[in-house]
Amino acid sequence: MRYLKAYIKHWKEGICYMKFGYFDDANKEYVITSPRTPYPWINYLGTQDFFSLISNTAGGYSFYKDARLRRITRYRYNNVPIDMGGRYFYINDNGTIWNPGWSPVKTELDEYQCRHGMGYTIITGKKNNLKAEVTFFVPQNYAGEVQQVVLTNEGSEEKTFSFFSFEEWCLWDAQDDCTNFQRNFSTGRVEVVGSTIYHKTEYRDRRDHFAFYTVNDEIDGYDTDRDSFIGLYNGFHNPQAVEAGKSNDSFADGWSPIASHYKKITLAPGETKTLVFILGYVEMPVDQKFEADGKTINKVKALEMIEKYNTPEKVAAGLEELKEHWNRLLGILNVNTPDDKVNRMVNIWNQYQCMVTFNLSRSASYFESGIGRGMGFRDSNQDVLGFVHQIPDRARERIIDIASTQFPDGGCYHQYQPLTKKGNADIGGDFSDDPLWLILSVSAYIKETGDWGILDEMVPYDNDMSIAKPMLDHLKVSFYKIVNNLGPHGLPLAMRADWNDCINLSCFSDTPGESFQTYTNPKFAAEGGYSKVAESVMVATLFTYAGPNYVAILKHLGMDAEADAAQAEIDKMKANIMESAWDGDWFLRAYDANGEKMGSKECEEGQIFIEPQGFAIMSDIGKDQGCDKKTLAAIDERLNTQHGLVLNNPAFTKYYIQYGEISTYPGGYKENAGIFTHNNAWIICAAAYAGAGDQAFKYYSEIAPAFTEETSDIHKTEPYVYGQMIGGKDAGSDIGKPGNHFGQGKNSWLTGTAAWNMVAISQYILGISADFDGLKIDPSIPAAWDGMTATRQFRGATYDIKVSNPDHINKGVKSVVVDGNAIEGNVLPAFGDGKTHSVEVVMG
Which residues are part of the catalytic machinery?
501
- Single out the segment in contact with ligand GLC by CB under 6 A; choices: 123-131, 449-457, 494-502, 595-603: 494-502
DSSP per-residue letters across 513-544? T--TTT---GGGGGGTSS-SS-EEHHHHHHHH
DSSP H helices, 116-239, are: 174-177, 181-184, 226-230
R_g (Cα) of the chain, nearest Å: 28
| Residue 671 interacts with ligand GLC (CB under 6 A): yes or no | yes
| Residue 661 interacts with ligand GLC (CB under 6 A): yes or no | no
Mapped onto helix, strand or coil, the DSSP state of residue 621 is coil
What H or E segment, with its residue span, contains residue 712? helix 712-715
Nearer to ligand GLC, 33 or 363 (CB): 363
| Residue 405 interacts with ligand GLC (CB under 6 A): yes or no | no
Of positions 500, 580, 748, 810, contacts ligand GLC by CB under 6 A? 500
Nearer to ligand GLC, 455 or 610 (CB): 610
Of positions 72, 502, 540, 797, contacts ligand GLC by CB under 6 A? 502
Mapped onto helix, strand or coil, the DSSP state of residue 279 is strand
Nearer to ligand GLC, 92 or 380 (CB): 380
The answer to whether 832 and 797 have CB atoms below 8 angstroms apart is: yes
Beta bridge partners of 283: 209
CB of 790 to ligand GLC, least distance (A): 30
CA angle 692, 694, 696 (to 5 degrees): 70
CB of 526 to ligand GLC, least distance (A): 28
CB of 647 to ligand GLC, least distance (A): 9
Pattern 79-98, ligand GLC, x by CB under 6 A: --------------------
Count of residues near ligand GLC by CB under 6 A: 13
Mapped onto helix, strand or coil, the DSSP state of residue 156 is coil
Sequence letter at residue 696? A
Distance CA(785)–CA(517), nearest Å, equals 46
| Residue 499 interacts with ligand GLC (CB under 6 A): yes or no | yes
CB of 382 to ligand GLC, least distance (A): 8
Sheet harboring 675-676: ordered strands across?
675-676, 723-726, 745-748
CB of 375 to ligand GLC, least distance (A): 10
CB of 435 to ligand GLC, least distance (A): 14
Spatial CB neighbours of 188, under 8 Å, sequence gap ≥ 6:
169, 171, 201, 252, 253, 254, 255, 256, 257
Distance CA(833)–CA(734), nearest Å, equals 61
| Residue 362 interacts with ligand GLC (CB under 6 A): yes or no | yes
CB of 444 to ligand GLC, least distance (A): 18
CB of 828 to ligand GLC, least distance (A): 34
Distance CA(594)–CA(585), nearest Å, equals 23
Neighbour tally for 830: CB within 10 Å: 18
**Nearest to residue 217, comparing CAs of 159, 281, 135, 148?**
148
Nearer to ligand GLC, 68 or 414 (CB): 414
- Single out the segment in contact with ligand GLC by CB under 6 A; choices: 26-34, 372-380, 637-645, 703-711: 372-380
Distance CA(213)–CA(248), nearest Å, equals 17
Neighbour tally for 12: CB within 10 Å: 9
Nearer to ligand GLC, 501 or 730 (CB): 501
Sequence letter at residue 425? A
Pattern 678-717, ligand GLC, x by CB under 6 A: ----------------------------------------
- Residue 752 — φ and ψ, nearest 5°? -60, -10
Of positions 35, 85, 125, 376, contacts ligand GLC by CB under 6 A? 376
CB of 54 to ligand GLC, least distance (A): 24
Of positions 71, 378, 496, 589, contacts ligand GLC by CB under 6 A? 378
Pattern 170-189, ligand GLC, x by CB under 6 A: ------------x-------
- Tell me which residues in 95-114 interact with ligand GLC (CB under 6 A): none
Spatial CB neighbours of 549, under 8 Å, sequence gap ≥ 6:
439, 440, 443
| Residue 745 interacts with ligand GLC (CB under 6 A): yes or no | no
Nearer to ligand GLC, 665 or 707 (CB): 665
Nearer to ligand GLC, 351 or 500 (CB): 500
Which residue sits closest to ligand GLC, CB atoms considered? Answer: 501
Nearer to ligand GLC, 198 or 749 (CB): 749
Sequence letter at residue 610? I
Dmax of the chain from CA atoms? Answer: 86
| Residue 383 interacts with ligand GLC (CB under 6 A): yes or no | no
| Residue 501 interacts with ligand GLC (CB under 6 A): yes or no | yes
DSSP per-residue letters across 738-778? TTSSTT-EEEESSSHHHHHHHIIIIIIIS-EEEETTEEEE-
CA distances, 259 to each of 190, 205, 230, 807 (Å): 9, 22, 12, 65
Nearer to ligand GLC, 722 or 742 (CB): 722
Beta bridge partners of 53: 44
- Single out the segment in contact with ligand GLC by CB under 6 A; choices: 148-156, 261-269, 349-357, 373-381: 373-381
CB of 787 to ligand GLC, least distance (A): 36
Nearer to ligand GLC, 376 or 450 (CB): 376
| Residue 379 interacts with ligand GLC (CB under 6 A): yes or no | yes
- Tell me which residues in 710-739 interact with ligand GLC (CB under 6 A): 724
CB of 376 to ligand GLC, least distance (A): 5
Cis preceding linkage at 470, omega within 30: no
Beta bridge partners of 211: 199, 281
- Tell me which residues in 751-770 interact with ligand GLC (CB under 6 A): 751-752
DSSP per-residue letters across 305-367? HHHHT-SHHHHHHHHHHHHHHHHHHHTSEEEE-S-HHHHHIIIIIHHHHHHHHHHHTTSBSSS
Nearer to ligand GLC, 46 or 374 (CB): 374
Instruction: Give the binding site for ligand GLC (CB under 6 A).
Output: 182, 362, 376, 378-379, 499-502, 671, 724, 751-752
